[in-house]
Amino acid sequence: MPKPNNQDANSLLVLGGTSAVALAYARLRASEGKPIILVGRNSDKLKLNQADLAARTKKPVDIHVCDLSDTAILDKNWNAVTSMGHNISEVFLAYGLLGDQLKTQKDSQKFLASLNTNFVSAAMWAEKAFDHFAYKGSGQITVIGSVAGDRGRQSNYHYGTAKGALEIFCDGMAHRAARFKGAKINILLVKPGFIDTPMTDHLDKGGLLWASPEKIAKITLKAVFRGKRKIYAPWFWRFILLLIRMTPRFAFHKTGL
Amino acid sequence: MKPVLSWGRINDKYCNVVRADYFADPNLLTIAESSDNGMLLAHGMGRSYGDSGLNKGGVIFQTTRQNHILDFDTQTGIIKARAGITLEEILRVSVPQGWFLPVTPGTKYVTLGGAVANDVHGKNHHKVGSLGAHIMRLSLTRSDRKTVICSPRTQKKLFNMTIGGLGLTGFINWVEFKLKPIESSYLETENIPYTSLDEFFSLSEESAKWPYTVAWIDCFAPKSKQGRGIFTRAKFSNYGALDIHRDDHIATWPFVTPALFLNRFSITAFNFLYRWRPGARMKGRSHYDSFFYPLDGINHWNRLYGKAGFFQHQSLIPLERSKEGIGDLLDIIKESKQGSFLAVLKLHGPEYSPGTMSFCRPGKGVSLALDFANKGQKTRQLLERLDACVLKHNGRTYPAKDGRMSAQTFQTAFPQWTKLEAMRDPKFSSSFWRRVSQTTS
Ligand SMILES: Cc1cc2nc3c(=O)[nH]c(=O)nc-3n(C[C@H](O)[C@H](O)[C@H](O)COP(=O)(O)OP(=O)(O)OC[C@H]3O[C@@H](n4cnc5c(N)ncnc54)[C@H](O)[C@@H]3O)c2cc1C
């Protein structure tokens, strides 16, 4: 049953509502008083984030529990999310799974599942969002990609391929949006470098290359305000990746990257 | 294991650092087992100056990812949040709704858990007591029993022991407390230069109705003007916007300054500046950020003291002994020629907090907080002399700021420490605690 409670306010839809970057971003938006929908798989975690965000925004914060990567019922999930009574103006796509390439190399079903999570389902959600905003007349789609998508590397090209494909997909959507008459849709692809999250706690994070999820969220919000299409976060990764892309193959192949 | 520095940059202890997950409650036994000595200690923002937040050879469990607000009733001002949230973050959320911290220390970069564990006090102690007086409930996980919710009514003993319990009664999951209503983010302030300790007392008395009072004093004043300084009093204004503090630090102290910089001359000059800073006699208006947290504007200001680091010394002397006691302390400092960069004097009121171990118990008195650049043996000797003087006047030294007081000093000032030892979680310990709980002869 739709509850028409926020038709006037513009809601943020977060896909991957338990990710650290997503929470940090949603907190920034909540402090502006936005209503929010969080989608994710773990309902206990979503509920914690929901309580936190509800304390910050004076508007409703709803959750929808589902497996975002389940492409078979993705349409059903989209319908459920869009009939919660929110007027969605922004979609923040933050879910993904770094995975263990040694495993996905050995097990093609695991490989398929990782592609489904990191690319296929993500692109499908983005396409749904695009249609929604095209019909509505405007909207913001923000996608968290990765620097791993910039060049195939032996150690994580399974993940990199999915993120690289997602980038091409975003480029395409942005082109389509640019040619759209009457609707203003902005697509932003964010390519973070190393993010300090529990997933990476086993690494030594002494260096300057590590950024907190809060920092990535702040950079992202600024880019959204400025209508940017593609950013590295923080900015210096742009130059690091430029170097990596420019390294001649014979030299690159000597590295263990 | 890696070296962890506390805020004074002197106490450097090899600890096994384990960082909390965003969501899951910690499994204390597993975490404790991952260290050499099998002991663990929660660790917030590491703003305690000495070793009360360190655990040599054990685990420090870094809580800051557990920073969810669980509930915030904007009608009543009651907020419930996980212990790893910083006061900075709470302000960000509460101020626009017209609510401020009931009690705040001199920096907003501390965690709620850390603030409870030291039962922190602020410039309004004379009116409202320490933070503990405003806590309604808290949830505590221990390695030897199930998670308990403590309040002044249920699990009262554990509640009272946890407030100011130096993190030793277990892991604080969340805390529920009552905020203070404000109508604006700005305070009306008055700065009054004064020239003697007597004047400090009369100004404090005269300002009893002001919610916030504090004095900065000049450690190098001649004996005839001992205790001179600037007396500040303030109250929240009832007009003005509910602006939150700015996002970033104004500056980051980029490098570790050579200690030379803080020689006697610069300290005197600094105190002189404070003494005569422009507008010192004027009434003013100040945002809460610059009023309560002047040092927060400079990230890593603690590097200012150079490689050797610095000591803090804060003592509280009972009211009836305070004039004599503070005078004696100032004499010792002057004699040592190791002046304090920032010396802060404050009249405390009765303690409303139930914390058994709270620093501000048993109440009315005067506290003196001092910073000293670490000059090795010479500075340690000075601090020993200060400790002895504090004890002589029936006072006590603040564990949150200490990394060196002797077991004897501690045990004399906090005779109830044995109760904390009895209620301590058997898996929890700190470098501080192992030091001060040693048997003394
Ligand atoms: C510039 C500055 C000004 C200050 N001004 C004041 C002041 O005006 N008044 C005052 O009272 N203090 C003051 N302090 C001291 C400071 O408020 C305390 O040291 C405070 O406890 C620091 O909090 P933290 O999060 O950094 O905790 P830490 O220093 O990391 O830890 C402090 C204690 O809290 C315990 N702890 C932390 N989290 C938990 C948890 N979840 N469960 C159980 N135990 C926990 C730790 O085990 C440890 O014993 C000041 C400090 C600075 C740097």
Q: What is the pLDDT of residues A168-216, one digit of tens each?
A: 999 999 999 999 887 899 999 999 999 998 888 888 777 788 999 999 9
Residue B124: per-residue pLDDT: 98
Residues A135-144 have a mean pLDDT of 95
- Beta bridge partner(s), residue B110: none
Q: Which of A161-175, B328-342, B384-398, B402-416 has the lowest mean pLDDT?
A: B328-342
Is B68 close to A48, i.e. CB distance below 8 A?
Answer: yes
Please report residues of B whose CB lies closer than 8 A to that of A23. Answer: 22
Which residues of chain B neighbour A18 with C-beta distances below 8 Å? 22-23
- Residues in chain B with CB shorter than 8 Å from the CB of A52 are 68-70
Class of domain B69-181: alpha beta
Question: Could A56 and B68 be called an inter-chain contact, meaning their C-beta atoms sit closer than 8 Å?
Answer: no
Ligand 1: centre distance to CA B115 (Å): 5
Q: Give the count of beta carbons closer than 10 Å to the beta carbon of residue B277.
A: 12
Closest Cα to atom 13, ligand 1: which residue? B105
Domain limits, chain B: 2-63+418-436, 69-181, 186-411
Fold of domain A6-252: Rossmann fold (3.40.50)
How many whole angstroms from B60 Cα to the centroid of ligand 1? 14
Is residue B260 scored above 50 in pLDDT?
no
Provide the pLDDT for residue B259.
46
Is the CB of residue B412 less than 8 Å from the CB of residue B151? no
C-alpha distance from residue B386 to each of A187, B298, B343 (Å): 64, 29, 14
Average confidence score pLDDT of chain B = 90
Q: Is the minimum distance from the CB of B397 to ligand 1 under 6 angstroms? A: no
- B92: nearest CA partner in chain A: A31
The span from the CA of B315 to the CA of B331, in Å, is 15
Please give the CATH topology (third level) of the domain spanning B2-63+418-436: 3.30.43
DSSP A82-121: HTSSEEEEEEEE-------HHHHHH-HHHHHHHHIIIIIH
| pLDDT of amino acid A180 | 83
* Domain ranges for chain A: 6-252
What is the B238 CA–ligand 1 centroid distance (Å)? Answer: 31
In this predicted structure, the answer to whether residue B277 has a pLDDT above a threshold of 70 is no
Q: Does the pLDDT at position A39 exceed 60?
A: yes
Give Cα separations from A99 to A45, A46, A162, B133 (angstroms): 20, 22, 12, 48
Question: What was the pLDDT predicted at B222?
Answer: 84
- Expressed in angstroms and rounded, the spacing between residue B438 Cα and the centre of ligand 1 is 23
- Pocket of ligand 1 contains residue B122 by CB under 6 Å: yes
Identify residue A139 by its one-letter amino acid code: G
| Interfacial A residues in 20-59 facing B (CB < 8 Å) | 20, 23, 31, 44-45, 48-49, 51-52, 55-56, 58
**A199 to chain B, minimum CA–CA distance in Å?**
9
Architecture of domain B186-411: 2-Layer Sandwich (3.30)
Residue A139, strand partner residues: A185
Look at residue A4 in the predicted model and tell me its pLDDT.
42
Q: Which of B189-193, B258-262, B388-392 has the highest mean pLDDT?
A: B388-392
pLDDT of B272 reads: 61
How many inter-chain contacts (A to B, CB under 8 Å) are there? 35
- Is the pLDDT at B298 greater than 90, yes or no? no
Average pLDDT over residues B220-233: 87
* B25 has a pLDDT exceeding 50: yes
Distances B150 to A140, B156, B422 between C-alpha atoms, Å: 46, 6, 18
Contacts of A201 in chain B (CB under 8 A): 19
State the nearest Cα–Cα gap between A57 and chain B, in angstroms.
Answer: 9
> Which of the pair, A157 or B216, is modelled with greater confidence?
A157
Q: What is the pTM of this model?
A: 0.94
